[in-house]
Amino acid sequence: MKLQIVELHDCGLGVSIQDTGRHGWRKFGVPVSGSMDDHAADWANRLLGNGPEAPVLELLLQGAKLEMLEDAWIAVTGADANCNVATWRAVRATKGDVIQFSRSVSGVWTYIAVEGGFECARFLGSASMFARGKLGFPCATGSILERTHGERFKLQSGVAGRFTPMNERRNYDSPLTLKMWRGPQWDLFTENDRGAFFSQQWTVSPDSDRVGYRLSGTPLTADSTQIISEPVRVGSVQIPEGGSPIVIMRDGPPVGGYPKLGIIDPTDISWLAQCRPGRTLKFQPAE
């Protein structure tokens, strides 16, 4: 028996299924994918007692609308998109409830978890949608999603609610400084350019997506703008011709031929993911 849980009435600017990603396939040219903000996605699952690998819905900015097809516990975390249910807590939704995200207020990516996790076919070990590679279930208006057959969530006796601690609920509009480790081609850049990278503010470009975030500011130069293609990690800060950095994100290529000035600390990639176009940020050397 299929356990239908949600019907998508409107995908807004984008809806996809994501989990912790597709690991072990980069050598075959397949990116990791997975939740752009793994911190928020993880908390959505933790609130419902799901494992970290349980698939969640990832929403881009605003406009999504979905209807509950049965009573169930859900959790909404991540960006503030003016959701009509409480966020960063476990919520008991009832059949027929319409959950909508009408206006993007702060951040970029919002996450919805259901008790047990969404039930989706896995490709190369993951349910994550990688649109360019046509891997994963393509969500569309009218799509009906299912949940797993696992044990239903319930609050423990004497517990009135389940909330994310306030120190874990991020303010995506707060001043942001990201930690960066030296990259493989650090020495291709002059001391002046390395200093300029850390001293200036960078602005997130509208030309940013799940593949990479482009940053605008005073351009940098390297002794060589092309290197022999080599593996590229998520968080790599590449400097292409023109000198404007590109940070490789979850759907980014596994290899690249641009010099890499640095690699953003893994704990800070989720912060960068929630930076809207026009948002300014700085970097500091990781220690």
49 and 80 co-located in one domain: yes
Three-state secondary structure call for residue 181: strand
Strand extents, DSSP E, the chain: 4-11, 15-18, 56-60, 64-68, 72-80, 90-93, 98-100, 106-114, 118-119, 144-147, 177-182, 202-204, 212-216, 230-231, 236-238, 246-248, 255-256, 260-264, 280-285
Q: Are 194 and 243 in contact (CB under 8 A)?
A: no
91 and 42 co-located in one domain: yes
- How many other CB atoms are found less than 10 A from the CB of residue 130? 23
109 and 212 co-located in one domain: no
132 and 187 co-located in one domain: no
Return the bridge partners of 131, or none.
none
Nearest to 41 by CA among 274, 248, 211: 274
End of a domain among 101, 136, 168? 168
- Per-residue pLDDT for 232 more than 60? yes
Indicate which CATH number applies to the domain containing 194: 2.40.100.10
Q: What is the pTM of this model?
A: 0.95
Compute φ and ψ for 109, nearest 5 degrees: -115, 130
154 and 251 co-located in one domain: no
Scored b (16 or more CB within 10 A) or e, 241-258 reads eeebbbbbbbbbbbebeb
Q: Report the pLDDT value the prediction gives residue 151, as an integer from 0 to 100.
A: 74
End of a domain among 112, 140, 168? 168
Task: Calculate the CA dihedral of residues 31, 214, 17, 143 and round it to 10 degrees.
Answer: -130
Between the alpha carbon of residue 36 and those of residues 80, 163, 170, 200, 234, the distances in Å are 15, 22, 15, 25, 11
68 and 38 co-located in one domain: yes
Number of residues that make up the chain: 287
Provide the domain limits for residue 142.
4-168
In angstroms, rounded to a whole number, what is the distance separating the alpha carbons of residues 151 and 180?
41
Count of domains forming the chain = 2
181 and 268 co-located in one domain: yes
Q: Report the pLDDT value the prediction gives residue 224, as an integer from 0 to 100.
A: 65
Match 């999603």 to its residue by tokens: 145
Model confidence at 194, pLDDT cuts 50, 70, 90, reads very high
End of a domain among 125, 141, 168? 168
Compute the chain's Rg from CA coordinates. 20
In eight-state DSSP terms, residue 113 is: E
Model confidence at 221, pLDDT cuts 50, 70, 90, reads confident
124 and 208 co-located in one domain: no
24 and 158 co-located in one domain: yes
What is the identity of the amino acid at 104? S
Q: What is the tens place of the pLDDT at every residue in 83-125?
A: 999 999 999 999 999 999 999 999 999 999 999 999 999 999 9
224 and 251 co-located in one domain: yes
186 and 164 co-located in one domain: no
Q: What is the tens place of the pLDDT at every residue in 18-52?
A: 999 999 999 899 999 999 999 999 999 999 999 99
160 and 190 co-located in one domain: no
Q: Are 256 and 280 in contact (CB under 8 A)?
A: no
